[in-house]
Structure formats: C-alpha cells, structure tokens
Structure 1
Amino acid sequence: MYREIINDLKKWKNKSRRKPLLLTGVRQCGKTYIIDEFAKECFDSYVYVNFESSENLLAVFEYDYDVKRIVTELERHFKTKIIPGETLIFFDEIQECPRAITALKYFCENMKELHLVCAGSLLGVALKEKNISFPVGKVNRLQLYPMSFKEFVIANDREDLIEVFKDWPTDRVIPELYANPMERLLKEYYIVGGMPEVVKTWVETHDFAEVEEVQNEILSDYADDFSKHAPLSEIPKIRWIWDSVPVQLAKENNKFVFSHVKEGKRSAELEDALCWLSDAGLITKTELVEKPELPLSGAADKTYFKVYMSDIGLLRAKSRVSAQTIMDETDGFVRFKGAFAENYVLNELKSLGKEPYFWRSGNSAEIDFLFETNGEVFPVEVKSADNTQAKSYKQFCKKYKMRRGFKLSRKNIAENLCEATKTLSLPLYIGWNIDAYI
C-alpha cells in the first residue's frame, strides 16, 4: 500500500549530511512494512535485524562499539556482503538492544556512508524507562502515523480522486460526481481508520465485521502492552485513562479532566500514566493557547489540554459506534459526530507534520485547532455538518486579524472574508490538501 513517507525516506537516502535514521510510530502502524518496501525499491541488498526474534544478535554489540567489527559479524551471520551505498541495514525492535541504540553514535561518526534505519515498538516508552545512552544529535528522525485519509483513498483504488483535488480552485463548486464518492470514502475511513492491517482487510473484504475483528485484536494487543511494558503501579491508571479518552472527547467541552477518569483521583496521581500513553504514541495531546503568539509552543498552557486517539478507526471501535450508524448517519451517531470530525482533522494535521494547539477565551469561545507554518498562525474551525456559522471563529478573527483561516465541514468549497481574515471553507474530505491553500 502506498505510504507518503516513502518520499521522505528517499530524501533521507540522498542527504549529504545523512545520519542513522530513527523511525518512530505507534505499534502496528506499518514501520516494518514501509522499510521493507523502501529496501526493495532503492537498494541492491538488505539486512534485516530483529532484536526481539533474534536475541543471539545482541551479543554482536556487547563487546565494543567498533562499527567495522559489528558490520563484519552481521555479514558473517546473514551471509551477505554489506556495501555502503548499496545495502540498507534495518535494526527492528531496537529497544531490545540498548547497546545498539548507543552504537548509532559510532555509526554516525565512523561509517557515514552506510544507510542504517532503526525502529521499535513502544520505543518512546523504552527510551524513557530504560537506562539507555541515547546518541543525541547523531540520528535523523521520521515519524510514521497510521494511514491518512489520502492514503486510504489511494488504497481503495481511487487515486483519480486525489488527482482531481490536488489543485481544485476555490471558486469552483465541487459537483456530486466527485463529492459523493469522497463523502462515502470519508465515512468508511471513520469506520476503518488507518491501521494498515485493518485497511488491508477492508480493501480485500469490504466487510465491516471483519474490519472490527482486526481492530479489536489491535486494541487487545495494546492492552497487553500495558501489562508487559508499563510499570506495575501504573497499569490500572493507564487502563482508566485509555478507557476515558472516547468518553471525554464526546463531551461538549472536551477538555481532558483527570477527575473524570476515576472518581477521587487527582492529576498528580494520573499524569505519569497519561505520559506513558503519549510516549507510546497511542494518544495525542493538544494544549491550550490563550494568545496565538509565535512560537505557539511558547504560549501553550501545558496544564490545560485535550486528548485524542492516534487512529480514528480505533476510536470508533473503542467507542462501540456501529459501522451502519455512521454510514446511515442515524441519531445514534450524534453524540460522537463532532468528536470524530475533530479527531480526524487532528490526525490529518499531524500527518502533514503540523503541531496543533487550540484556543479558548474563557467558556465563551473556542477555535478547534491552531497551527503555525512559515512564521504564521492559522486557525482551523471543524464542523461535523454543513453549518459553518461559528461565533467563536468570528470573535477570534476580529481580535487577532489573521491573514488566512480555515473551516472544515460538510459544506462545499467556498472563500470569503471574516473580519478581514481570508477564510476558506473546505470539505472535510480534502483536509489532506490544506497546505495547497495556505
């Protein structure tokens, strides 16, 4: 299946100042698959080292950090000549070999010409919890997310629709010829999400029951990870927070409230558990910005935030909203409709490399997302229906007079002025192309 990150991998391959690459991403989002595809497409040979399934290879790193010796021993083990510039080495599940993580420093310094990629499940958690000497400044990084809506559309053999909307003009109404299939695909994406195994199941079967079976397996695997990898004292708290996310998202004021996780529990008792889920890539926090000043990270209130799930399909499965409810847009979907639209847009922005925040003025006004690009701040209002009237957005634009803003909804494309802010209304299904309109 097509993944956009392949283009970033190719750029990394040809960088003059290339370093070993650390590929991060939530478990089962397709890291191993995409590196296998990258190796097949761009290299003459490939050495795959899985430290979880081949524990004997840990011994290669126990003696010293002489990278020439390490490469020679890998050649001997895999009976493959490793040729810098022609061979890709992939250290998978690298968290199982802390000395291999430390060795990245020496590969960077002493064998720059070698192409080396590493990845691992729960790597963010492992790096914090284990006593690992991390090679700061000696690695390049890429983040892989679950498949975006654009990638989902392509996987469903509708790349033609992506081509249609690459440069769609703002003054041309989108006809039903293109809008209807995209709206249906978006509903399917809300149900299926972007986990590659789930998408593959959907493409092969078009059976929502089969899809849900795979999603529940992944959710069970995540729950097993809590028991295997989290500190014993944190496991119940992690489960409480994990189960609380869909419920808190569905609230009208969806600020994350620790006291709503478990009665009688305070933030000080639950913060470590929330951080564990964030480090594992399972959730994303967006923080409050009261004044949209650059950089947004400097203006953020880290104590006031919302929490979203990394995959819209898993959110749907965990919320127990039936597929048919979404396809038919029945009343049973009303409670979660806004939450799903917000979580979807958040994940799309993240997949575009943006770091979203949100703005709130007391309890009277809110902008769903703010992001910064090229020294500018852009507000994004999200609506799950075709009503784009938003007092909060108008209030924000009047106060801060941004150059450009966006409204994402079920409404057709249109452009207008809102208190001197040039505002583009985009259908939710082309949020993946927001950069083209900046």
Structure 2
Amino acid sequence: MKRNAMQSLINWKNDPERKPLILRGARQVGKTWLMKEFGQTCYANYVYFNFDEEDELKSIFQANKNPHRIIELLSMISGEKIQPGETLILFDEIQECPEALNTLKYFKEKANQYHVVSAGSLLGTILAQPKSYPVGMVNLLDIFPLTFDEFLEATDPALYTYYDSIQKEQTIEEIFHSRLSEACNYYFIIGGMPECVSSWIKYKDPARISQIQRELIEIYENDFSKHNGKINSGRILLVFRSIVAQLAKPNEKFMYGAVREGGRARDFEEAIEWLVSAGMLNRVYNVSKMEHPLSAFDKLDQFKLFVFDTGLLKHMAGIDNSAILLKSSYQFKGALTENYILQQLQGQFEIAPRYYSDKNSEIDFVLQNGTDIIPVEVKAGEDKSAPSFKRYVAENHPAAALRFSKRGYRKDGDITNLPLYLVCKTRDLL
C-alpha cells in the first residue's frame, strides 16, 4: 500500500541538514513496513536491527558511544559493509534500548554521513519526558493510520485516479459522488489500520475486520500496563474506555467525572497526557477567541478527546455496520463523523485544529491557515441547520467557511460544502 509519508522520508533523505530520524506513532500503524520499504526503494540496501528480538544488540550500545565503532560492529552482525549514504540503518523497537536512543546524538555530531531511521512502540511517551532523548539532535516524523485517500488508492485504484484529479470548485458527477460516498462509508467501518485495510482487500470479510479491531484494542490495553512508567495503568485504561461515553454526550467535552464518579483533573491528567503522547488519542482544545494565533487562546482545562483511528472508535462504540451503510440515524453518528474529520485533518495544517464553545454557540472545528481563521461545521448527514456556524459566518465574513456533510461539493453563499470524502483535500481546495 502506498503511504503519503514516503514523500516526507524522501525529502528527509535529500536534506543536507538531515539528522537521525525518529518515526513516532501508535503501535501497528505501519512504521516498520514503511522504514523497510523506504530502505528497499530509495537506497542500494538497508540493514535492520530490532532491539526487542535481539537482546544482545543492546550490549553494543551499552559499551560504546563512538558511532564509527558502532557502525563497525553492526556491519559485522549484518554481514555487509555499511556505506554512508548508500546503506540505510534501521533501528526498530528502539525504546527497548535507551542507550541506542541516546547514541543518535553522537551520530548527528560525529557521523552524520550515515543515514539512520528509528522507530518503536510508545516512543511518543518516552520522547515526552525531558532528558530521555537527544533534544535538537534528531528529526521527528509522525506516522498515522491510512487516511481516506490512502485507503481509496489501496482499495479502488480506478476511483482514486478520479478522486486525485478533483480540482477546486469542480463539479463532481453524481455517479462519482455516490461511489466516493460509499467508499467513505466503508472507511468508517474498516478505518485506516494497515492490517484491517489489507485484510479487506484480500478477503472482503467484515467479520475478519471486526476481529482484527478487537485484537488491536486488546494489544493497546495490554500496552497500558506494560509501558506506563510511573503512571497508574488502571487510570490510563479508565480514560481510554471512557472515550465512547465522553463523545456520546451532547457537547462531547471531556469530563473527569464521567471517567469515575467524583473524578478530578489531578486523578487523570497524567493518564490523558500518556494516551495523547502515545498517539492513541487526539486532543482538541477549546479556544476563548477565534483569532490568529489560535494557540494563544487555548482553554487548557477544556478539551475533547478523539480516538486516533475511526474504525477502532466505531468498533469500541459497538456500532453495527448496517447503521452506517443504510443511512439510519443513531446517537453516535455525529461523534464518529467528527472523529473521522479530525483524523483526516491531522498534519494538513501547521497548527492543530481547535474548537469553539461558549454559552451561546459552538463551532465544531476551527482551523488556522496562515493568518486566516476558518470555521468548520461537521454534519453526519445532509442536514444544513447550524445556527452558531451561520451566525459566525454572517458576522465575521471569514476568508473561508467549510461545512463537511453528505451533500455534494458546492458553494452555498459564503459557505463551501465539502463532501465527507474530500476532507483529505481540504488545504488544496481552500
């Protein structure tokens, strides 16, 4: 399956200021596959070392700080000469060897001609701790589950060709609109986890998808107890399992009391930070003003938490496939759609999306594009009513105002309606 992150890896390879690269992202999003594919397609060869599988590897890094000596020993182990710029050096599960993580700074300082990429489970939680890794000495790249456009290219290449050609203000013929809408419904069910997508391509069996999703959630919940450090794993689990109930509430705002009766911020703050750092949850802050720069107006005590993959959230909520495919209305439809929109917006804009909510109004998402502030309304169906959103647009005349819904691609006055399947192209279509 083609991954958009491959282009970022190629840019990294060609950058004269390149530093050792760390891939961050939740478990099972395809980091190992991506590293090896990059090594295979963009280098003469690559050498791969996994600290989880090869315990004796750790002794090399525990005994040596000199990168040239380390390269010599790694060449001996791999059985081939590691050439600067021609051999890609891959370190997997690097969190199992803190000394190797720390050695990356010596590669930057003394042996930057060697190309080094590393990855591992829960690296985000390790990197979030000060002094635990070489700050400023590495490049970081976040890897997410497949976005809708990657999913479409993998599952229906011919339809993807049409999708890829869609330009700003283009008329989308009804036949393509309905086929893309159907593909989008499939994505809600399957999600973007590589194992789910490849299983769908191979077997077209929804029961298999459901089983993979159940197993993935079990893997993640087991991780909470294994890698939590000083943070109470029971609290991490409580927060994670509360997400469906949190998003089912009318305003979706995260409430500590919904995790456990009488729960307070001090009980669960660290657990939330851990889940966000691990890439398991996406946090969206409420802003007190919809003005540039957005982050200056964050209300740090008011936020929503979404799951990093929409297919996993759909499984956690126990939504039946027929509810999604047959356009029926159900309690969780809006929350699932917002989760999907946020997942596709990840990384499109330099500033992460926010939302706006006060006593009188609510805007689902707020985007910052350069100095422009863009309000976003999310509709799970074809409904157009959105009084807060329309009032904001009428009073403030933003450079763009976006409504994501099941309706076609068109302008309604100052509001641009984008079908749900076009969210990956948001930035290009502005």
Range into which the TM-score falls when normalised by the shorter chain? over 0.9
Q: Which residue of 1 aligns with 2:90?
A: 90
TM-fit CA distance, 1:158: 2.9
Q: Which residue of 1 aligns with 2:11?
A: 11
- Once residues 138 and 240 of structure 2 are traced to their aligned partners in structure 1, the CA distance between those partners, rounded to angstroms, is 31
Matched, 1:56 2:56: yes
TM-fit CA distance, 1:10: 0.5
Quick one: which of 374, 377, 395 aligns to 1:378? Answer: 374
TM-fit CA distance, 1:353: 4.7
Q: Which residue of 2 aligns with 1:44?
A: 44
Q: Which residue of 2 aligns with 1:359?
A: 356
TM-fit CA distance, 1:414: 1.0
Q: Which residue of 1 aligns with 2:401?
A: 405
- Once residues 313 and 163 of structure 2 are traced to their aligned partners in structure 1, the CA distance between those partners, rounded to angstroms, is 29
TM-fit CA distance, 1:292: 1.8
2:356 partner letter: W
> Would the alpha carbon gap of residues 133 and 338 (structure 1) be closer, same or farther in structure 2, given more than 3 Å must change?
closer
TM-fit CA distance, 1:11: 0.7
**5 Å matches for 1:13-28?**
13-28=13-28
Q: Which residue of 2 aligns with 1:424?
A: 416
TM-fit CA distance, 1:318: 0.6
Q: Which residue of 2 aligns with 1:267?
A: 265
Structure 1: 5+ residue runs without aligned partners? none
Q: Secondary structure at the match of 1:203?
A: helix
Deviations 1:297-336 (A, max 9, x none): 12111110001000000001111112222212334xx111
Question: Which piece of structure 1 moves more, 160-169 or 29-38?
Answer: 160-169
Preserved contact between residue 165 and residue 430 of structure 1 (Cα < 8 Å): no
Deviations 1:184-225 (A, max 9, x none): 111111010000001111111111101000010000001111
Q: Which residue of 2 aligns with 1:158?
A: 157
TM-fit CA distance, 1:393: 1.1
Q: Which residue of 1 aligns with 2:139?
A: 140
TM-fit CA distance, 1:437: 1.6
Matched, 1:306 2:298: no
- Once residues 363 and 411 of structure 1 are traced to their aligned partners in structure 2, the CA distance between those partners, rounded to angstroms, is 29
> Would the alpha carbon gap of residues 163 and 330 (structure 1) be closer, same or farther in structure 2, given more than 3 Å must change?
closer
Q: Secondary structure at the match of 2:413?
A: strand
- Once residues 334 and 153 of structure 2 are traced to their aligned partners in structure 1, the CA distance between those partners, rounded to angstroms, is 25
Quick one: which of 333, 339, 344 aligns to 1:343? Answer: 339
Aligned residues: 429
TM-fit CA distance, 1:252: 1.5
Q: Which residue of 1 aligns with 2:32?
A: 32
**5 Å matches for 1:100-115?**
100-115=100-115
TM-fit CA distance, 1:232: 7.0
- Once residues 303 and 400 of structure 2 are traced to their aligned partners in structure 1, the CA distance between those partners, rounded to angstroms, is 24
Structure 2: 5+ residue runs without aligned partners? none
Q: Which residue of 1 aligns with 2:195?
A: 197
What CA RMSD, in Å, does the superposition of the two structures yield over aligned residues?
A: 1.6
Q: Which residue of 2 aligns with 1:287?
A: 285
- Once residues 274 and 171 of structure 1 are traced to their aligned partners in structure 2, the CA distance between those partners, rounded to angstroms, is 42
TM-fit CA distance, 1:157: 2.5
> Would the alpha carbon gap of residues 127 and 435 (structure 1) be closer, same or farther in structure 2, given more than 3 Å must change?
closer
> Would the alpha carbon gap of residues 340 and 73 (structure 1) be closer, same or farther in structure 2, given more than 3 Å must change?
same
Q: Which residue of 2 aligns with 1:119?
A: 119
Deviations 1:408-438 (A, max 9, x none): 10111111433xxxx3111001111111122
**5 Å matches for 1:230-249?**
230-231=228-229, 234-249=232-247
> Would the alpha carbon gap of residues 164 and 123 (structure 1) be closer, same or farther in structure 2, given more than 3 Å must change?
closer
Preserved contact between residue 231 and residue 270 of structure 2 (Cα < 8 Å): no
- Once residues 335 and 371 of structure 1 are traced to their aligned partners in structure 2, the CA distance between those partners, rounded to angstroms, is 26
Question: Which piece of structure 1 moves more, 377-386 or 394-403?
Answer: 394-403
2:420 partner letter: L
Report sequence identity in percent: 36
- Once residues 347 and 223 of structure 1 are traced to their aligned partners in structure 2, the CA distance between those partners, rounded to angstroms, is 21
- Once residues 265 and 169 of structure 1 are traced to their aligned partners in structure 2, the CA distance between those partners, rounded to angstroms, is 47
Preserved contact between residue 67 and residue 110 of structure 1 (Cα < 8 Å): yes
- Once residues 398 and 181 of structure 1 are traced to their aligned partners in structure 2, the CA distance between those partners, rounded to angstroms, is 34
- Once residues 379 and 163 of structure 2 are traced to their aligned partners in structure 1, the CA distance between those partners, rounded to angstroms, is 23
- Once residues 317 and 351 of structure 1 are traced to their aligned partners in structure 2, the CA distance between those partners, rounded to angstroms, is 24
Preserved contact between residue 258 and residue 270 of structure 1 (Cα < 8 Å): yes
Structure 1 runs (4+) deviating above 6 angstroms are: none
Question: Which piece of structure 1 moves more, 306-315 or 60-69?
Answer: 60-69
Question: Which piece of structure 1 moves more, 334-343 or 226-235?
Answer: 226-235
Deviations 1:7-66 (A, max 9, x none): 111111101111111110111100000111111100111111111111101111112311
Preserved contact between residue 94 and residue 118 of structure 1 (Cα < 8 Å): yes
Q: Secondary structure at the match of 1:268?
A: helix
Quick one: which of 172, 178, 183 aligns to 1:185? Answer: 183
TM-fit CA distance, 1:231: 4.3
Question: Which piece of structure 1 moves more, 180-189 or 163-172?
Answer: 163-172
Deviations 1:67-90 (A, max 9, x none): 100000000111111001100001
